[in-house]
Chains A and B, each alone.
Chain A
Amino acid sequence: MNAPANIETRQLLNGNHAVAWGVRLAKPDVTPVYPITPQTPILEKLIEFQSEGKFAAELLTPESEHSAMAACIAASATGARVFTATSSQGLLLMHELLHFAAGARAPIVMFNVNRTPASPWGFWPDQIDSLSQRDTGWVQLYSESPQDSLDTVIQAFRIAEGSMLPVMINHDAFYVSHSVEPVSVPAPGLIDEFLPRVERPMQLDTGAGQSLGAPIGQASWNRTRREMAAAMETVPGLTEAAASGWRAMTGRGGGVLEAYRMTGAEVVVLTMGSMAGTARDAVDRLRDEGIAAGLLKLRLFRPFPADELRAALAGVPCTIVLDRNYSPGMGGVLHQEAKAALYGTVGAPRMHGLLAGVGGVNVDVATIARLVRDYRNADPSPDAVWVE
């Protein structure tokens, strides 16, 4: 389902280079960025584009991710379009400023490569770095593949500038960041049309003596969070609109939640990131065996698309959540969120939360198929289960 060749070109790209291509097409004004494995190829590719005269953004290379995000927020406050990228420790170092960016309503787009946080040191795909930032006020999207990452980073600017909320897109370390596949790269003119410049309501402008972020009273602070809540409510719609615009242009991509072989499904795998690609093959294998399996790939994690999930799982008897992350003392984060979204709804499915692939452990097609066979008729447990 690729668009005609005159609109897109096909290139062999890894996930990170696909992101860099998306960013080049989105034309940010400012890009403060700090290197960290396995995000660095994004930075390197952007600098390569710049040295070729193909990427005009002001590139800032500060001493830390903390300063990179501080520069992002300040640049965004002047009305500039801003991009940055990070991973794991870098994202965690930014934590203070993630809250700040969302509170300042800065529509920054950031790419995060999901990687295990220390200690101990590891460089493996695991989503707890970004999932532990879920309460900071950032929109979070998860990508499955290099193509998905390119498509999503461009759509993310539409979502950010439409909601005045910062958007973080995530893909798994190495499984996506360094895996090479043929990627369709849209022509620049297409993206200029898809991403028009948006006039901002609140900017740091020399013409106006108004300040940003100055101390306020309790009631006013409270109101900022209500305004963020209202903005968050617009995000699923903005995500769907961006996705359908993208589909009309390129023929590719899903919205908030991607359904695969859900017709008549009696057991549904719910997951996100690269695991979704493996689960798709597992669903095919199970269907071949006569098991009515389906897949829901959660693309938008924050705001959590509770309504869409309830609708997608209506009448489904059993759901198996695969979490490549672990929140110590509670379990998988997607499992927690899905349970919370479905609790109290009539006819909610039995749900199993499986901790599969924590720390980047490989979860192959055969493993997912076996887990579905094992758990589809098992009694549900409210707690997460470690599985091999």
Chain B
Amino acid sequence: MNEVKKIDYADDGQFCSGHVACAGCAEALAMRVILNSVGQNAVGVVSPSCSAVILGGHPLSSARIPFLHGTLESAAASASGIKRALRAQGKDDTTVLCFAGDGGTYDIGLQALSSAAERNEDILYVCFDNEGYMNTGGQKSSSTPSGAVTGSTPLGKATQKKNLIEILAAHRIPYIATVSPSHLNDMAAKMDKAKAIRGTKVIIVLIPCLPGWGVADHAAVSTARLAVESGVFPLLEIEDGLRTRMHPEHKIRPIDAYLAQQKRYRHLSEADRAALQAEVDANWARLSAQAAL
């Protein structure tokens, strides 16, 4: 068993106990780090998603900052409206934060996000990516990776996960980062960096979904770690859509252990797994080349 190390980061109590995340869900952990990085001078928008559920029903809230519970497709548009309104009222120093799932980001919210990115609205957009519509019981989204079984892909998804990072990079927004609940110091550092940048910032957080992916209750963080260590989910930063930074030392193992922790990949044949491994390796090679530029 690995040695357990205590992670030190500032916790000002921005995320309260008593929230209703599933027991063992890593999204609550990520929200805690993110909300503490953002601090008190902030207003949030949340799309219908697991994060909206975790934030809680009226009149309770697990966040100390106010959140507008908006519609599924309009998080970035709503955040733009808040930012502009605060600016008009002389409160331009307030951080405007979005919480959305991958359905609300990769799918139905992409149009509004693209538009906000094109206008370079000064918003901090966080996508909790659990690779499917997990809050509605586990259907595929365009973020679901190839091969994964969901309620609407019972034989495994035939097409690849949408490459949102490259879509966003093409908008030349100042900052894009991927973070994982297995690497909390990295998450906090990237949040601090994003908060200080003016313009559109997008953070994608990988969230292994316990029921949706078929992961054991204690294994959310270790599954996220395996995603990073196998190169399935590279931790990276892209500045101005052009300068990519990543950690070549992170990829230390094949995808087998990552797949083995999840029921959604249980049906894969040897050949299927080899094809997935090839897809991951090709993506890693391409990103590494990009980062070396």
Contacts and interface: CB of A to CB of B under 8 A. Distances in A.
B56 A73 contact: no
B74 A70 contact: yes
Contacts of A77: 68, 82
Interface in B56-96: 56-59, 61, 63-71, 73-74, 76-82, 84-89, 91, 94
B110 to A, nearest CB: 10
A57 B88 CA distance: 7
A214 B77 contact: no
Nearest to A208: B66
Given A60-B81, A71-B80, A74-B78, A212 B68 contact: yes
B80 A60 contact: yes
B290 interface: no
B88 A71 contact: no
B41 interface: yes
Contacts of B64: 209
Contact of B84 (A58, A208, A212, A217): A58
A78 B77 CA distance: 15
A45 B89 CA distance: 24
Interface string A46-61: 0000000000111011
Contacts of A60: 80-81, 84, 119
Nearest to A56: B88
A267 interface: no
A78 B41 contact: no
Contacts of A32: 77, 80-81, 84
A75 B89 CA distance: 11
B42 A214 contact: no
B111 interface: yes
Contact of B82 (A64, A96, A204, A211): A204
A62 B114 CA distance: 10
A68 B87 CA distance: 17
Contacts of B71: 70, 96-97, 100
A205 B74 contact: no
A67 B86 contact: no
A29 B69 contact: no
B45 interface: yes
B86 A78 contact: yes
Contacts of B58: 211, 214-216, 220
A96 B56 CA distance: 23
Nearest to A97: B71
Contacts of B66: 204-206, 208-212
Given A62-B115, A208-B66, A70 B84 contact: no
B55 interface: yes
A72 interface: yes
Contact of A67 (B61, B84, B115): B115
B184 interface: no
Nearest to B63: A209
Contacts of A215: 52, 57-58, 69
Contacts of B61: 209-211, 214
A206 B74 contact: no
A66 interface: yes
B55 A75 contact: no
A307 interface: no
B66 to A, nearest CB: 5
Given A67-B111, A72-B81, 5 more contacts: A29-B85, A58-B88, A100-B71, A209-B63, A211-B69
20 contacts: A29-B85, A29-B89, A32-B80, A63-B115, A70-B112, A71-B78, A71-B84, A73-B68, A74-B77, A74-B82, A79-B85, A80-B88, A96-B71, A100-B70, A206-B42, A210-B61, A211-B55, A214-B58, A214-B59, A215-B52
